[in-house]
Structure 1
């Protein structure tokens, strides 16, 4: 029986592509409506490897910003940028993240979930930056601070299953009693399943499943489907 629902943050609770495009297009002198979908997807997919390099002390956060952005640009056949431009992007991107909002429907679902389940967050990134996003999204209304875990504060980063196991202990629950919701198959679905959790895939970017080794327990394609899924959990708890 599910007793806790734990969320990813980036591109799960809010639309991460919008501030990404708004920050990058002007620096590349592209039209405001430019399609940077492939670059964004690659940027997201770089997360696991990038944070592993930082955690291992191989890259600084500045080096990660440059290398990660240039890998994303190459994927869309766009020219690489200098360190100066990469850091300007990072600054503009962080500014855009100060205006993020929850996906439509999530606030209502969280209100209902809070009545029946423990709620938590597992997110990769610097603690200060991720907590700022959590506060901007007003997630503190539903999630206690001790149920928010970042890769920086734990020394563990998704897709390492150990960060999920650590959350088990934090919530005082068995793995089978927790479900994780995230947008990234490799870092969210596969990692959570390896830890023995259930996993709901918020596949609103219509990504293909990289392999068939780990099957999501549920898959939804937009925020209203996610809302319906979360409300269905509430209905189960009330039954």
Structure 2
């Protein structure tokens, strides 16, 4: 079957791009550890993500299925390492309870305001709309279903590192997307919150990148530059729909 010809395409990251990734983290920390409003949740969240990316890359875990012992151990260790930086020494059992509560809350998430509407309007403007996300396939699909994104993204336009075989920032995952969708790098936009995984990875693949910097963080490097930066879906709408005119 011949692939449909598209003029432009936009792919979104999932975690902390389609929904607020901090919320399940904050809720788990409050529920399990009894932390109050004075705790620096956002800095802790960034350190948890740092250790998650670091340990997963070192162990080649982004392609493992949920329930794999090595993957489950990594998810527990990331909490122990991150919380240790904030003076909270967790036992293995405490970190395991934290991970279990976090995972439960991951499946009770809601999209950012305006996210679904933007995807709908982009499709109406003639864009191919898709998702590219790191993680085990089943785990990421659970989140996509929890966000109810299936009516906005065709299954063949959902690309998960655990299924593709490459993980961001490896540019080969973006090349695989181009090959499977019949698109080319010069017609593709990528929207993501992570400087390392999203801005750097998509830039290396020759894609146009919009950095969804809703947390107002500083760029991690100087050798890469996004084509635009947005702090809300309203700003993303202006940048992307202007590209369709």
Query: When the two structures are superposed, what TM-score results if normalisation uses the length of structure 2?
Result: 0.88
Q: Name the counterpart of 1:55.
A: 60
Displacement of 1:206 in angstroms is 0.8
Out of 162, 166, 169, the residue aligned to residue 172 of structure 2 is 162
C-alpha separation between the residues in 2 aligned to 1:224 and 1:35?
A: 27
Matched, 1:204 2:214: yes
1:156-193 superposed Cα distances (whole Å, 9 cap, x missing partner): 11111111111111111111111110001011001100
C-alpha separation between the residues in 2 aligned to 1:63 and 1:167?
A: 30
Displacement of 1:22 in angstroms is 0.3
Q: Name the counterpart of 2:27.
A: 22
Q: Name the counterpart of 2:147.
A: 137
Out of 81, 100, 105, the residue aligned to residue 109 of structure 2 is 100
Superposition pairs of residues 1-239 of structure 1, within 5 angstroms = 3-31=8-36, 34-55=39-60, 60-75=70-85, 77-115=86-124, 116-233=126-243, 236=244, 239=245
C-alpha separation between the residues in 1 aligned to 2:164 and 2:239?
A: 30
Displacement of 1:51 in angstroms is 2.5
C-alpha separation between the residues in 2 aligned to 1:145 and 1:130?
A: 13
1:58-97 superposed Cα distances (whole Å, 9 cap, x missing partner): x81122112211232133x232312222221121112112
Any gaps of 5 or more consecutive residues in structure 1?
none
In terms of mean alpha carbon deviation, does 9-18 or 133-142 score higher? 133-142
Pair 1:46–1:226, CA change in 2 (3 A): farther
> Structure 1 stretches (4+) deviating beyond 6 angstroms?
none
The DSSP-based 3-state class of the residue aligned with 1:179 is strand
Pair 1:139–1:33, CA change in 2 (3 A): farther
C-alpha separation between the residues in 1 aligned to 2:148 and 2:235?
A: 21
Give the number of aligned pairs. 233
C-alpha separation between the residues in 2 aligned to 1:96 and 1:232?
A: 36
Any gaps of 5 or more consecutive residues in structure 2?
1-5
Displacement of 1:223 in angstroms is 3.0
C-alpha separation between the residues in 1 aligned to 2:177 and 2:154?
A: 13
Displacement of 1:10 in angstroms is 0.3
Over aligned residue pairs, what C-alpha RMSD do you find? 2.0
The DSSP-based 3-state class of the residue aligned with 1:21 is helix
In terms of mean alpha carbon deviation, does 48-57 or 145-154 score higher? 48-57
Query: When the two structures are superposed, what TM-score results if normalisation uses the length of structure 1?
Result: 0.90
